[in-house]
Structure 1
Amino acid sequence: MRENKDYFINWKAKLHEIIYEADTPEGKWFDIALIGLILISIILVVLESVESFDHQFHQILYVAEWIITILFSIEYIARFLSINKPLKYVFSFYGIVDLLSTIPLYLSFIFPGSQVLIVIRAIRLLRLFRILKMVKFIGEARKLKEALWNSRTKITVFIFTIVVLSVIIGTVMYLIEGKEAGFISIPKGIYWTIITMTTVGYGDIVPLTALGQTIAAIVMVMGYGIIAVPTGIVSAEFYKQNKFYKIHTNTQACPNCNAQNHNDHAKFCYNCGNYLNEA
């Protein structure tokens, strides 16, 4: 009985190492195969949307997608079973993405056409960083995430200011231009302000009066400065992270809680304190 239990623990640890980590040859090849399946699946969905191609090869596309879906289902179950706290995986970002990318074909029996949601699998291509073992980029991504989080208050205030400014300018343009120029309501004026301020400029609404055109020119020039503001905020925070929070991370995942991006040479998980099985 003891030997069976030890065998199960060793098997589970090995499965976890292959599925969740890219530090071993088996783990790297597993992720490469996974990325290949994702790319093939996305290509199949794209080809299926081409009516002439689908009409000629519908049966082949259908069978191929079912084979890939079954393989993804097996992978999802394996991920669920290979960690000590499977619900941590189920409700994690990748857990939800994996589920959403697996069930569309099953749902197509109930909701025809829902198989197009399979393109959600494209999000799983983010695992490419793990496959290539780009430790530097993993660490930089972590710094960027923290820079964005630390900038949230400033960015929120900035967005709120832009919204208020858009309402004011949109209202002014509605009063100046009126319905003749296409400014049939204040929301329409706000819409024009936003697309002008962001330098998109669809051209479906154009001011006709001299005053309106002057305001439009000011809004356009102001738009370039506005675009630079959030970039500067995040860049400043990113610089702080890069200067004061230099870390080196790897692809190792905790077998207990599935936390990733541990520091090099770490023996214990930063999230749950569980011992990490070092290769």
Structure 2
Amino acid sequence: MKTEEWMEPRFRPASTKGWRGYWFRVIFRHHEPDERRFDVILLGVILVSVITALLDSVALLHAQYGKIFYAIEWVFTIAFTLEYFLRLSLVRRPMRYVLSFYGLIDLMAALPTYISLFVVGADHLLVIRVLRILRVFRILEMVEYSNEGSELIRALYASRRKIGMFVLFVLLITVVFGAVMYLVEGPEHGFSSIPHAMYWAIVTMATVGFGDITPQTPLGQFITSIMILIGYGIIAVPTGIFGAQLVQAGIQRRAEGAAVATIAETGVACARCGEEHHYAGARFCQRCGERLGEGET
């Protein structure tokens, strides 16, 4: 499955007529005023729901307004549930929507309140609804940002093997230095096990340094200094890999743009409508559908 399809799947309407056709257009399209109005209202409801969940997690506010927050949350949950089943009734293949990225997010947006009836504290998972704000990229038609986001994902995918080898190398360093520090410092200095020492190695190599575990011996402090220097050195590695892939993608995009521009200037004009701008290898006019080259002598 392509990355673009995973992030924003295309769904076909179950019916193009009647109320199902109308609501499919309003919910799944994002161009007309009523379609944008629905999405903006949905985003507002999501934001208010998330803010309610955040405020309800504050002990003082929960003690004073807990019942109000609970009632409001059930109103939102019922609204999201109805919207979810409405979406299922509008698409031709409901299971494709259920298993899609946004379908799973929509489902998880409604489930926490129901789960809280059986599991104490599950209602705090309501903040997952903030993920539905991802729809804002489609609502605002931020084509430039959407294209750049797709380019970032493609760059990550193209460099996945190099980044994977880098992560494996970091894990090997973590295991080796964790074992060494366990032998050098020992449980009496907080290094109670090799996994615990590996945790220290990760924190040290990331140059975070929480300070909950610190070496006490001169040899341990010397090893720590080496780990910190290694950390500074390896931080730039994935950035360089990813940056090089982005540069390559940018060069390729500019080359494709230049090729399209050249074809647009020297391309064959349509005999019917006169359109001169066509993509490379196009055999039909992108405006009227006329076969290119017909009518010429």
Q: Which residue of structure 2 aligns with residue 145 of structure 1?
A: 153
After TM superposition, the structure 1 = structure 2 runs for residues 1-279 of structure 1, keeping only pairs within 5 Å, are: 8-11=15-18, 12-245=20-253
- Higher RCO (CA 8 Å, separation ≥ 6 residues): 1
- Quick check: 2:15–2:90 contact (8 Å CA) kept in 1? no
Structure 1 counterpart of 2:118, one-letter code:
I
Deviation digits for residues 54-110 of structure 1 (CA, Å, limit 9, x no counterpart): 232233222211111111112112221222222111001111111011122122223
- Quick check: 2:163–2:241 contact (8 Å CA) kept in 1? yes
* CA distance 1:154–1:28, shift in 2 (3 Å): same
- Quick check: 1:151–1:233 contact (8 Å CA) kept in 2? yes
- C-alpha distance in structure 2 between counterparts of 1:155 and 1:26, whole Å: 44
- C-alpha distance in structure 2 between counterparts of 1:68 and 1:118, whole Å: 10
Number of paired residues?
Answer: 243
Structure 2 regions of 5+ residues with no counterpart?
A: 1-13, 258-297
* CA distance 1:86–1:179, shift in 2 (3 Å): same
- C-alpha distance in structure 1 between counterparts of 2:28 and 2:247, whole Å: 31
* CA distance 1:129–1:59, shift in 2 (3 Å): same
What is the SS of the residue equivalent to 1:201? coil
- C-alpha distance in structure 1 between counterparts of 2:193 and 2:79, whole Å: 53
* CA distance 1:111–1:178, shift in 2 (3 Å): closer
- C-alpha distance in structure 2 between counterparts of 1:230 and 1:179, whole Å: 34
What is the SS of the residue equivalent to 2:213? coil
Structure 1 stretch displaced more, 76-85 or 97-106: 76-85
Q: Which residue of structure 2 aligns with residue 252 of structure 1?
A: none
Structure 1 counterpart of 2:17, one-letter code:
N
- C-alpha distance in structure 2 between counterparts of 1:10 and 1:42, whole Å: 35
State the Cα distance separating 1:221 from its structure 2 match.
Answer: 1.6
- C-alpha distance in structure 2 between counterparts of 1:141 and 1:244, whole Å: 16
TM-score by length of 1: 0.80
State the Cα distance separating 1:125 from its structure 2 match.
Answer: 1.2
* CA distance 1:103–1:158, shift in 2 (3 Å): same
What is the SS of the residue equivalent to 1:120? helix
Deviation digits for residues 100-139 of structure 1 (CA, Å, limit 9, x no counterpart): 1112212222323322221110111111212222111111
Structure 1 regions of 5+ residues with no counterpart?
A: 1-6, 249-279
- Quick check: 1:21–1:130 contact (8 Å CA) kept in 2? no
What is the SS of the residue equivalent to 2:172? helix
The higher radius of gyration belongs to: 2
Q: Which residue of structure 2 aligns with residue 4 of structure 1?
A: none
Structure 2 counterpart of 1:179, one-letter code:
P
Identity %: 43
Deviation digits for residues 26-46 of structure 1 (CA, Å, limit 9, x no counterpart): 221111111111111111111
Structure 1 counterpart of 2:127, one-letter code:
V
- C-alpha distance in structure 2 between counterparts of 1:83 and 1:43, whole Å: 31
* CA distance 1:159–1:132, shift in 2 (3 Å): same
Structure 2 counterpart of 1:76, one-letter code:
Y
TM-score by length of 2: 0.76
